[in-house]
Structure 1
């Protein structure tokens, strides 16, 4: 396992955090950036960055991996918003987080995401998610 995907709610918005356990770093994927193309959501996830080393230590991750535990908080950086599909409304962040996670899990290079989907595709993405839940929901 190279990374763990963690959807995070920042109070009024969902973002996706990709946590690289061995490296002690987090990449933040934000679909709602300001007019200048900047995301300031890193300020909203300090608790995650501080808690991760402790949680991993208590879960036995470091012992299992035979590595010394991180003693400092994880570091985080934004994925450059100019290469991420962005929402243009105030309520599609959850669908964007799900799509970002899907593309990461399938190993789709970040450089091709802008060509794969955007705000106009969100209704179809929502329908596909609802279909998957309906068809496969009984397996849970």
Structure 2
């Protein structure tokens, strides 16, 4: 079971004009979106942690051990130069999707094709003839909302909906707010955790925390 600790400072970065952090990305799409999909569907989805997915994107070794054939969706969010992008593998349809909030360039689609081919081959599948394409979607209008976009893209794909949503500044701020509220509504009881380091050490004053 995946456990993700998100502090209030992380959630506060869902505010307008702030860059959404990896902790929020992981908690929202790994814990909430994929958990909801798996609860409501006979098919299964698997989410790759952003750190692992970024390593795959950079052609580094990964510790992920899965059988891709048992999943309808394998979803990963990549961070490249402080910019979030979405990668989705759909084994049953023999295809892969790459979605960039700023728009997809041929070189990035080719890179997605190459790294997902390597990833799948090392796990027993041969995706040489699998398509790697994208989907129509609204484009990011600012410099900081890529995280909100990729989470909305992932939500639409897992829900079986087109990537069609309003992308005005106020609409994207609403998406940011929905992400924050969803995380707060689905949090565990953190009463006994240190507000600074997140450890449970029996000290309820949190004054002399040793980190």
Question: Equivalents in 2 of 1:10, 1:102: separation in Å?
Answer: 21
Q: Unpaired segments of 5 or more residues in structure 2?
A: 1-42, 44-71, 190-211
Post-superposition CA distance 1:4-62 (Å, at most 9, x none): 222122343211122111344211111102xxxx534224433233112213x3xxxxx
Matched position secondary structure for 1:103: helix
Relative to its length, the structure with more helix (as a share) is 1
Runs of 5+ unmatched residues, structure 1: 58-68
Offset, 1:137: 1.8
TM-score scaled by length of structure 2: 0.48
Higher-RCO chain (CA-CA 8 Å, sequence separation at least 6): 1
Aligned residues: 116
Larger radius of gyration: 2
TM-score normalised by length of structure 1: 0.68
Q: Tell me the equivalent position of 1:76.
A: 132
Give the equivalent residue in structure 2 for 1:136.
186
**Runs of 4+ off more than 6 Å:** none
Residue matched to 1:48? 116
**Cα distance change, pair 71–15 in 1 and its aligned pair in 2 (3 A):** closer
Task: Supply the distance in 2 between the matched residues of 1:71 and 1:77 (Cα, whole angstroms).
Answer: 14
Q: Which residue pairs with 2:152 in the alignment?
A: 99
